[in-house]
Amino acid sequence: MITLALSKGRIFDETLPLLEAAGVSVDAVQADSRRLIVPTADPEVRLIIVRASDVPTYVRYGAADLGVAGRDVLLESGVEGLYQPIDLGIARCRLCVAVRQDFDYAQAIRRGARMRVATKYVECARQHFAAKGMHVDLIKLYGSMELAPLVSLADAIVDVVSSGGTLRANRLVEVEEILSISARLIVNQASLKTQPRRIGALLDAVARAVSAQQAAERSAHPSPK
Ligand code: PRT
Ligand code: MG
């Protein structure tokens, strides 16, 4: 049996079509249920539903052989014991620094002001500001980072942004991009050694599904020459 860890929401929704194309389809009723262990059309593959930030943990300990996790989550959690063979190109977003529209970030940097930065991504934020030689006080939050500058908890936030709609709705602006992010397939290294044929075949099928999806996207939205 191969166990694949996924989080509900965009990762689940965007991974299912790739799995389906790889021959591992999930019944719609099962997908919508509250079950935490979801069977697939392949009796040798099952899904487990976990919190996005818990995916690397399940895979690292071998409770799942494979998982799908955002690059943001992987950078925060570390990747020891994990292979990252495939960039799935889904759940795309970017990790950014954002501030209130009326906050002069460039001037605060010039003055050498010690900023307070609220974020769930403490490791990524620490590295980013250290590389810029900026001293910041990091405040760890677990969600709704966008609120922090509005109630003076922080001067800036580090958060992932996709459409930018949430920032705009809260009168925040993006001032720096730190990383571009997409979701990766991760694999437990020991699982790959003990089930090389089965897992290898699944990885090949998923890689083909990703290439086909990206080719279809390119032909639907050709990039300007
Ligand atoms: O929600 P929960 O606390 O359970 O966990 P999570 O937020 O880690 O999970 P989930 O499912 O929201 O995100 C899983 C992964 O999707 C993340 O690790 C990212 O790699 C990726 N991803 C892609 C995003 C977004 N796009 C995104 N927009 N993750 C979060 N967001 C948030 C963003 O923080 C903002 O608050 O969505 C909000 C709206 O974004 P806009 O810019 O489209 O308005
Ligand atoms: Mg979320």
The pLDDT tens digits of the residues spanning 19-30 come to 999 999 998 888
Does 53 sit in the ligand 1 pocket, CB within 6 Å?
Answer: yes
Q: Which ligand is nearest to the CA of 142?
A: 1
Q: From 23, 28, 46, select the one nearest 36 (Cα to Cα).
A: 46
Does 89 sit in the ligand 1 pocket, CB within 6 Å?
Answer: no
Q: Residue 198 Cα, ligand 1 centroid: separation in angstroms?
A: 31
**Integer Cα distance of 9 and 154 in angstroms:** 28
Q: What domains sit in the chain, N to C, each tagged with a CATH number?
A: 2-91+182-220 (3.40.190.10), 93-181 (3.40.190.10)
| Whole-prediction pTM | 0.95
Can you tell me which atom of ligand 1 is nearest the CA of 161? 42
**Integer Cα distance of 122 and 138 in angstroms:** 7
The tokens describing 16, both together, are: 């299912």
The tokens describing 42, both together, are: 């392949």
Q: pLDDT for 179-216, tens place per residue?
A: 999 999 999 999 999 999 999 999 999 999 999 999 99
Residue whose CA lies nearest to ligand 1 atom number 39 = 166
pLDDT at 140: 98
Does 11 sit in the ligand 1 pocket, CB within 6 Å?
Answer: yes
Q: pLDDT for 106-152, tens place per residue?
A: 999 999 989 999 999 999 999 999 999 999 999 999 999 999 999 99
Q: What is the DSSP letter of 162?
A: S
Q: pLDDT for 17-74, tens place per residue?
A: 999 999 999 988 888 889 999 999 999 999 999 999 999 999 999 999 999 999 999 9
pLDDT at 225: 66
pLDDT at 63: 98
What is the bridge-based pairing of β-strands 183-188 and 66-70?
A: antiparallel
Greatest CA span in the chain, whole angstroms?
Answer: 62
**Integer Cα distance of 99 and 151 in angstroms:** 12
Does 159 sit in the ligand 1 pocket, CB within 6 Å?
Answer: yes
Q: Residue 200 Cα, ligand 2 centroid: separation in angstroms?
A: 31
CB-based contacts of 81: which residues, under 8 Å, 6+ apart? Answer: 60, 188, 189, 190
